[in-house]
């Protein structure tokens, strides 16, 4: 497909935590004409997420932590139940998710499987997220997890029956998109029974 974007210009609006740019560009419409667009795009880097599961115990490992944007947008206590995730920084996706898994959950995982990648909020955020799954066993627990204090992480580690975690989607107790996608993936692929 031909490039339908030209005259792309970025103006930095903020680099306080990550980058917020105002972007202007010309976009070619289906009829061949061009129109100018202005958008804002938030660049926080790319990330990786993983769902740990134990098919024998029929359990999954999730995390619970405070997420300010959800609190601002109506989540009463601001806490979300999520799959373990983190930004890539300078790592490749697999190295990142192995490190994040140990830091956040306390499990040192052996094998990870990449299942897909997705843009999570393509209307305003540049991030692409790499999705992984991995089996875990009790003997893989090397520490208590909970995140890194210097990064102001205060993460609670949850081990839940898969059936309970899946039910929590319909009750609204799990509202995190990446977590819902990975729980659905386990169910669709029948990697663990409800």
pLDDT in tens, 98-128: 999 999 999 999 899 999 999 999 999 999 9
Q: Residue 78 maps to which CATH number? A: 3.90.79.10
* CA atoms of 145 and 193, how far apart (whole Å): 26
CA angle 117, 119, 125 (to 5 degrees): 145
Asked whether residue 193 is assigned to any structural domain, the reply reads: no
Radius of gyration of the chain (CA): 19
| pLDDT classification of 147: cutoffs 50, 70, 90 | confident
| Strand stretches in the chain, DSSP E | 5-14, 19-28, 34-43, 47-54, 59-66, 79-82, 84-87, 113-119, 128-135, 156-161
- Residues 93, 181, single domain; the answer is yes
pTM of the model: 0.93
pLDDT of residue 152: 67
What are the structure tokens assigned to 100, written together?
Answer: 């994040």
Domain count, the chain: 2
* CA atoms of 73 and 58, how far apart (whole Å): 33
Instruction: Return left, alpha or beta for 74; rule: phi > 0 is left, psi -120 to 50 is alpha, else beta.
Output: left
- Residues 130, 99, single domain; the answer is yes
* CA atoms of 104 and 157, how far apart (whole Å): 7
pLDDT of residue 153 exceeding 90, the answer is no
Asked whether residue 194 is assigned to any structural domain, the reply reads: no
Asked whether residue 30 is assigned to any structural domain, the reply reads: yes
Helix (H, G, I), strand (E, B) or coil at 163: helix
Are the CB atoms for 71 and 63 separated by under 8 Å?
A: no
What are the structure tokens assigned to 113, written together?
Answer: 């499987």
| pLDDT classification of 1: cutoffs 50, 70, 90 | low
Are the CB atoms for 108 and 65 separated by under 8 Å?
A: no
Mean pLDDT of the chain: 94
* CA atoms of 136 and 125, how far apart (whole Å): 32
């Amino acid at each position: 497909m031909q490039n339908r974007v030209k005259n792309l210009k970025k103006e930095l609006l903020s680099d306080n935590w990550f980058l917020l740019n105002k972007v202007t560009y010309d976009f070619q419409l289906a009829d061949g004409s061009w129109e100018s667009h202005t958008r804002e795009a938030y660049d926080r880097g790319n990330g990786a997420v993983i769902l740990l599961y134990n098919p024998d115990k029929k359990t999954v490992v999730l995390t619970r932590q405070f997420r300010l944007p959800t609190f601002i947008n109506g989540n009463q206590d601001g806490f979300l139940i999520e799959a373990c995730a983190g930004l890539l920084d300078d790592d490749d996706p697999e190295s990142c998710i192995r490190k994040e898994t140990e830091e956040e959950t306390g499990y040192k995982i052996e094998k990870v499987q990449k299942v897909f990648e997705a843009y999570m909020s393509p209307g305003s955020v540049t991030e692409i997220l790499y999705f992984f799954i991995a089996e875990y066993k009790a003997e893989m627990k090397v520490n208590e997890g909970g995140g890194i204090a210097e990064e102001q992480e205060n993460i609670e580690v949850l081990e839940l029956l898969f059936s309970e975690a899946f039910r929590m989607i319909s009750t609204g107790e799990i509202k995190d998109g990446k977590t819902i996608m990975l729980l659905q993936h386990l169910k669709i692929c029948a990697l663990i029974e409800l």
